[in-house]
Amino acid sequence: MKTLKLFFTSTPPASLLYTRRAGINHQPIYIAMLLVVIFIGCSSKDTDENTQTETKTYWTCTMHPQVRSDRPGACPICNMDLIKKVEDAEEQPATDEEMANMITLSGRKQVLANISTVIVKKENLQEQVTAYSYLDFVENNRRTISARFNGRIEKLFVDKTGDYIKKGQPLFEIYSPDLVQAQNEYLIALNNSSNSTSLVNAAKKKLEIFGLTSEQIQTLEKNREINITLTYYSPISGTVIEKKVQEGVYVNEGTAIYDVAELSTLWNIAEVYENNLANIKVGSPVKLRLRAYPGEEFNGRATFIYPVINSQTRTVKVRSEFSSYGGKLKPQMYGETVFSRDGGKGLLVPADAVIIAGKRAVVWAKAGDGMFEAREVTLGNRYNNKYHIISGLNEGDEIAATGGFLIDSESQLKSGMPSGHQHDESDSRKDQKEKPKSEPSEENSHQSHSGKINDNSLKTFNFVCPVLGEPVSEKAPTVEYKGKIIGFCCKGCDKKFAADPEKYMKNLSGDGKKFIGES
């Protein structure tokens, strides 16, 4: 204003007076200069006002973000000191219903919160069942070599446990009177073979039963000499699991001498819970992880599902076959078996992107530049570190893969209500407002016999809701029960409590601070 006053009261310069005398009209020039001065003054004032309104300072409670104050102080709920918070104009809480589930974050806050986004897309749903297991011998590849007649072990050719033997390899040398008599009977039958061939065949069959090979019988037939000791040859190939005799010991018919097993193929026995049997099929691929070889996986195939479930553990045995990989896998090794099944394709999102709060699951989807929207989703099975999304998201949506909890915390600070809260109190209040005032509400008609009171200023007995176990809300109705004021987390829980108070009081601890959930 001083500038304008000086402009109109000051004496014009000499040059202007000279031009005025010359007959030149400067009135349009004065008017133009006046408008420029007014425009500059108004613009600077608006700029100052905008600068002042860009940010807003308020104080809030870290434990109760719904508490807001324009000055420092203490929280009226927990008496904690309020903290100062600066709210940008662009991040004002949304008032429009369409923006209620959205939050805007500046680029700086996104960097500080380490927020990264991914595009939702369809991937293969590889269903997996993991079970603890152990390796064992293949039953039909394990044999016991026993004595077929009474005698004395004169010499052991295979004298160590762990030795690998081949079919036809000499195992031990034995002296046996029974074997000597059998050889003698065969030679007598050969000498009288012109009279009867049946005796020759019977005597030869007895030698075969005793374990003599065709070569040994042919040598006896050719030389016609009885051997006092006989070398016994292995009928199978495999590894000696246990050597049960020593040289010089007497053995009876049926005495076990060697325990032999073929270890090129092993069985893997897994204990699978009965509710996972639907994901296991005979012939499906199986992976084995062993503690002895961390980071390695061995491939096999499921071959048999046992017909009986263990009544104690509620598990059933599933047998798989694996190669021993050159002796790398050994019987009685403990491991972890992974059964895989192709479940088609579906939407998969990172597990860190899903915020699970009670019965609800929320994912923050990007709705624009710096804007995120809370989407409630329905979860399917979990595949490693990803969740299958049944509904709530579409292919191509961009979501927050990391930093979702920080976005959710920022949303709580702005709205005062967790995004994953199990009850929509705003909807219940909205429904209550829409009811005609002339009609008595169901709640009021129920109050007359349930002990419900409307004075929420009275101190409640409990800290958690006896129905759902959530923290008690000051906005929810209260019920008087046996001289105690019972609080709830939301509208609706009070009606359930009033229907059967004895049942829900059992859910609370004696001091009302914990939810023990006995009913």
Spatial separation of the C-alpha atoms in residues 494 and 341, rounded to whole Å = 46
Spatial separation of the C-alpha atoms in residues 269 and 222, rounded to whole Å = 52
| Torsion on CA atoms 396, 399, 401, 407, rounded to nearest 10 | 180
| pLDDT score, position 188 | 87
Sheet containing 68-69, strands listed edge to edge, beginning at the edge strand earlier in sequence: 68-69, 55-60, 83-88
DSSP calls for 358-383:
TTEEEEEEEEETTEEEEEE-EEEEEE
Q: Which residue has the tokens 């030389």?
A: 223
Helix (H, G, I), strand (E, B) or coil at 395: coil
| pLDDT score, position 75 | 83
Spatial separation of the C-alpha atoms in residues 1 and 8, rounded to whole Å = 11
402, pLDDT greater than 70: yes
Mean pLDDT of 167-179: 91
Judged by average pLDDT, the poorest of 207-221, 395-409, 450-464, 499-513 is 450-464
355, pLDDT greater than 80: yes
129, pLDDT greater than 60: yes
Mean pLDDT of 102-125: 73
* 423 contacts 357 by C-beta, under 8 angstroms: no
Spatial separation of the C-alpha atoms in residues 247 and 156, rounded to whole Å = 6
Q: What is the pLDDT of residues 366-380, one digit of tens each?
A: 877 777 788 889 988
Judged by average pLDDT, the poorest of 35-39, 61-65, 185-189, 297-301 is 35-39
| pLDDT score, position 107 | 67
228, pLDDT greater than 80: yes
Indicate the DSSP class of residue 193. Answer: T
Spatial separation of the C-alpha atoms in residues 47 and 255, rounded to whole Å = 106
| pLDDT score, position 136 | 94
- The pLDDT confidence band at residue 427, using thresholds 50, 70 and 90, is very low
Q: Which amino acid is at 206?
A: K
| Whole-number percent of the chain with pLDDT over 70 | 72
Cα torsion angle, 246, 248, 249, 255, sign: positive
Neighbours of 438 (CB within 10 A): 5
| pLDDT score, position 25 | 53
Spatial separation of the C-alpha atoms in residues 2 and 152, rounded to whole Å = 134
Judged by average pLDDT, the poorest of 67-71, 116-120, 158-162 is 67-71
224, pLDDT greater than 80: yes
- The pLDDT confidence band at residue 432, using thresholds 50, 70 and 90, is very low
| pLDDT score, position 28 | 58
| pLDDT score, position 259 | 93
Q: Where are the beta strands (DSSP E) in 314-462?
A: 315-323, 334-350, 354-357, 360-368, 371-376, 378-383, 386-391, 398-402, 452-453
126, pLDDT greater than 90: no
What's the half-sphere exposure (Cβ side, CA atoms, 13 Å) at 190? Answer: 15
Q: Where are the beta strands (DSSP E) in 157-207?
A: 164-165, 170-175
| Whole-number percent of the chain with pLDDT over 90 | 22
307-312: Cβ within 8 A, 24+ apart? 309/274, 310/271
203, pLDDT greater than 80: yes
Judged by average pLDDT, the poorest of 96-110, 280-294, 378-392, 430-444 is 430-444
* 366 contacts 372 by C-beta, under 8 angstroms: yes
Mean pLDDT across the chain, nearest whole number?
Answer: 77
- The pLDDT confidence band at residue 26, using thresholds 50, 70 and 90, is low
Mean pLDDT of 497-506: 86
Helix (H, G, I), strand (E, B) or coil at 267: strand
DSSP run (H or E) holding 404: helix 404-415
Degrees, nearest 5: CA angle 279-379-398: 120
Degrees, nearest 5: CA angle 353-354-355: 120
Nearest to 242, CA basis, from 329, 354, 145, 106: 145
